[in-house]
Structure 1
Amino acid sequence: MFLRQLEPRTARTTAEVLNFALWPFAVLTVLNRVFIKAVNGYITDDFRPVYNASLAFLNHKAIYNANFDSTDPHYLYPPSGTLLISPLAIVDPEKSRWLFILVNAAAIILAGYLLLRLFNYSISSVAAPALLLAMFASETVTNTLVFTNINGCLLLAMVVFIHLLLRRQDLWAGVILGLVIAVKGPLLAPLLLIALARGQWKTLITSAGVPIALNLIAWPLIVDYKQFWTHTLPYLVEPRDYFNSAIVGNAGYYGVAGWLTWVIRIALGVLVLISLWLLYRYYREDEVFFICTSSGLLITGTLVLGSLGQMYYSMFLFPMLMTVVLRNSVLRNWPAWVAIFGFMSYDKWLSDRWQSIGRSLDYLRVTFGWGLLLIVVFCVLGDRYLAAKREGRLREGKTLDPAWMHPELEVEPTTNGRSRTPLPEPVTT
């Protein structure tokens, strides 16, 4: 039966044409990223310090003794993360790296499948190859695999967390988020605010309990445990002016005045808070839209307003980007996709002819992309709020969306012109 699906045949519908065209591009792009680019590697190697730390942990040697004066990748995982990733060093470095690449690639593919199910799409739909191609053609997936980072596994954990939230399995959702926090620290911790906004307070118990328990277990097993808190943690919270696309990172690199940097950060922070309030006030009953849009807003805000934001962390915006299939998505406009191009495209803007301009475009496009996305979300939600206020729809207290965004709620007059019944809900493929 499976082989019959591969049988060459002529497409009869537009959907079949797109499926036949996109699947080869998607599959071959995945193979290129996993077995060519990732195996080839790059000068930036996130895996080596992680493997060395795992090996040191298994041999009861010092871990947190990195020299932060260099710009090479450093080992920055907390003790709980060290405990979880230590099995990497059981095999030799090359095989371990290849296995790590495969695990992350598989995790990204599985996360994509779960995103399809979250939005009621199947593998046979056009959305499946389109999403797979978009993910593996992006900078964030490509460099996660090439640099051999753990982000793919964390993306899968994030999508599983969203599914568990929607199913009201609060304790298990907290366990998943707790494991992410144990490995990567506070990067995805803001997702906990979504659970709390939905009244899922039990999530807080396990999301805090898991990293605390893992750190307590790791304490007697790491010989320089205290060095993480006195040596590594201060480096993590201190903004750096290299490999940092957060506002403070580029501001430091270009010598922007401190007061102006704070003005920009505070202004964008206010936009984020207003947008989150509008989402909470008017959209929390629209569960998938609310969770995915809020998660993207929180993570983008963390990346651009915090002390460290790296381009390949944009992977955690995939659930938000997937909301474009929803009628009320905040991403159905061209400025949003200009922003997304800034932090998702694998293109380089370095120019041999216009070196200064090219360098600025390449260094700043991620920061501008994240910032523009926050502005777009604020403007779209703000415009809907003002329109609803003018039309007197705020009193309903349900949604800011105009009627055309929800055709399933439209009504059709009967023959007498007075009685109305809902139109049938359209079928989603």
Structure 2
Amino acid sequence: MSVVDRYLHPRVDPTRIGHLILWPISIMMVIHRSLILAVNGARTDDFTPVYNAALAFLNKGAVYNENYDTVDPHYLYPPSGSLLMSPLAIIDPQTSRWIFIAVSVVAILVCAYLLTRLFGYDHRSWIFPALIFAFFSTETVAHTLIFTNFNAFVLLGMLAFMMLMLRRNDLWAGVAIGLTFAVKPILAPLLLLVLLNRQWKILITAVGVPLVLNALAWPLSNDPMDFVKRTVPYLGESRDYYNSSITGNGAYFGIDGWLVLLLRIAFVLMAAFSLWFLYRYYRRSDELMWLATSSGVLLCTFFLVGSLGQAYYSMLLFPLMATVLRAGSAVRNWPAWLGAYGCLSFDVYYSSEWEPFGRYLEYGKVTWGWSLLMVAVFGSLLFRYLDMRRDGVLDVPSDVPDRTSDTAPPVGREPTPAA
């Protein structure tokens, strides 16, 4: 290399290239999604009902008196949620909303960091900015901020729960998930994994925290029984708007009830096999893979077969998708990522030229995204089972040393700092 060539073609450490590309793009995406899109807001406003309920709670007013026949966002949190949300109403609505957006952004960034560490990577690795970029590219994060709802804190509680559960800090793991139950019990299916792993202490705080908070909030609330009499029955209904579950999609498109029931049964059976296989062959050999994949299977099934599945719930599938970094992942195939595109992408398919076709795609893409992701995970695990049966190794013990990702050390072991 000539003297001049050193100036014309300066060398850059290849490990820095990911940082040079990802950090500026990720930072700009965070700024755009939070300071522009979120502050602008949208017609859908999840924050105002929460703020009004918090204000009513502080002033001993009626909280659960909404008209559920409208399609506007409703306040659906239990009294414990009203107690935890009540500080929002101490200041004016606009300032409160902006603070809530800012704290939500911080929570999402912390989630990216925790997921990086969960899979054994250092914060100086390119994985950290890549996850931030991936998070803020999705519809689920964008709409969580734009609509201004609680989902970022549910994901934060979920990741804290998983990390603490893996480290056997059972009582604190229960606190982490119990706080999410107190506001939005969408993570309740994960308690099945607690039972399967026999970490009974988690149940003490996971159940105790929301019970204690409800006991504190009940006498402070003006109409707590209306939550039981009016809100809980409404939560059990399957509405035909803003609902990407199989029943919601079926109601919107007019699908026969027998087909809706058949699809729900099919996905429950796929989930049952997937959970059995993961428990039998991964729980001892790779507990992180078992926990992250099983949680994704449980939650995705819950979104599909439950009464209400909203697109931004897909945020809770991030740990499942992050298993792609780890050897043995059930999402190392293109159908899984096509499904992820369906339920995570920010693309809109309304078409002025092909209006009916575009509308069908737009209203169905989250449902088919979840469905394809479930089929991909199920198919991947099923073919592994069939291969093992063919080779006669189904009964070979699986409690072998933890299999790591292709480049990262297993969870709980200190990673080598990235350059």
TM-score (structure 1 length as normaliser): 0.90
Deviation for aligned residue 1:404: 12
Is the counterpart of residue 239 in structure 1 residue 223 in structure 2?
no
Tell me how large the CA RMSD over aligned residues is.
Answer: 2.0
CA contact (8 A) 1:144 1:312 kept: yes
Note closer, same or farther for the CA distance 1:334–1:400 as it changes in structure 2 (3 Å cut): farther
Name the CA distance, whole Å, in 1 between partners of 2:304 and 2:31. 32
Q: 1:269 corresponds to which residue?
A: 268
Q: 1:260 corresponds to which residue?
A: 259
Deviation for aligned residue 1:169: 1.1
Note closer, same or farther for the CA distance 1:10–1:394 as it changes in structure 2 (3 Å cut): farther
> What amino acid maps onto 1:337 in structure 2?
W
Q: 2:215 corresponds to which residue?
A: 216
Q: 1:325 corresponds to which residue?
A: 325
Name the CA distance, whole Å, in 1 between partners of 2:41 and 2:387. 51
Name the CA distance, whole Å, in 2 between partners of 1:110 and 1:428. 19
Name the CA distance, whole Å, in 2 between partners of 1:167 and 1:405. 18
Spell out the pairing of 1:24-423 with structure 2 (5 A cutoff).
24-185=24-185, 187-285=186-284, 286-398=286-398
CA contact (8 A) 1:388 1:400 kept: no
CA contact (8 A) 1:64 1:232 kept: yes
Name the CA distance, whole Å, in 2 between partners of 1:13 and 1:406. 21
CA contact (8 A) 1:384 1:400 kept: no
> What amino acid maps onto 1:182 in structure 2?
A
Note closer, same or farther for the CA distance 1:428–1:335 as it changes in structure 2 (3 Å cut): farther
Note closer, same or farther for the CA distance 1:16–1:79 as it changes in structure 2 (3 Å cut): same
Name the CA distance, whole Å, in 1 between partners of 2:11 and 2:33. 28
The 3-state SS of whatever aligns with 2:395 is: helix
The 3-state SS of whatever aligns with 2:184 is: helix
Q: Count residues in correspondence.
A: 402
Cα displacement string for residues 25-59 of structure 1 (whole angstroms, at most 9, x for unaligned residues): 10100011111110111111000000000000000
Note closer, same or farther for the CA distance 1:277–1:51 as it changes in structure 2 (3 Å cut): same
Cα displacement string for residues 386-415 of structure 1 (whole angstroms, at most 9, x for unaligned residues): 1112222223121799x999899xxxxxxx
**Structure 1: where are the runs of 5+ without partners?**
1-8, 409-425
> What amino acid maps onto 1:212 in structure 2?
L
User: Which aligned segments of 4 or more residues in structure 1 are displaced greater than 4 angstroms?
Assistant: 403-408, 426-429
CA contact (8 A) 2:124 2:417 kept: no
> What amino acid maps onto 1:214 in structure 2?
L
Name the CA distance, whole Å, in 1 between partners of 2:290 and 2:175. 22
Cα displacement string for residues 96-135 of structure 1 (whole angstroms, at most 9, x for unaligned residues): 0000001111001001101101111122211111110010
Cα displacement string for residues 202-228 of structure 1 (whole angstroms, at most 9, x for unaligned residues): 111211111112111111111111111
The 3-state SS of whatever aligns with 2:15 is: helix
> What amino acid maps onto 2:250 in structure 1?
A
Q: 1:422 corresponds to which residue?
A: none
Deviation for aligned residue 1:12: 2.1
Name the CA distance, whole Å, in 2 between partners of 1:126 and 1:359. 38
> What amino acid maps onto 2:190 in structure 1?
L
Deviation for aligned residue 1:11: 5.9
> What amino acid maps onto 1:222 in structure 2?
S
Deviation for aligned residue 1:374: 0.9
The 3-state SS of whatever aligns with 1:395 is: coil
Indicate the structure whose relative CO is greater, using CA pairs within 8 Å and at least 6 residues apart: 2
Name the CA distance, whole Å, in 2 between partners of 1:144 and 1:311. 10
Note closer, same or farther for the CA distance 1:135–1:279 as it changes in structure 2 (3 Å cut): same
- Percent of pairs identical after alignment? 51
Note closer, same or farther for the CA distance 1:404–1:292 as it changes in structure 2 (3 Å cut): closer
> What amino acid maps onto 1:217 in structure 2?
L
CA contact (8 A) 2:25 2:133 kept: yes
TM-score (structure 2 length as normaliser): 0.92
> What amino acid maps onto 2:261 in structure 1?
W
CA contact (8 A) 2:122 2:416 kept: no
CA contact (8 A) 1:304 1:370 kept: yes
The 3-state SS of whatever aligns with 2:205 is: helix
Name the CA distance, whole Å, in 1 between partners of 2:11 and 2:173. 42
> What amino acid maps onto 1:270 in structure 2?
L
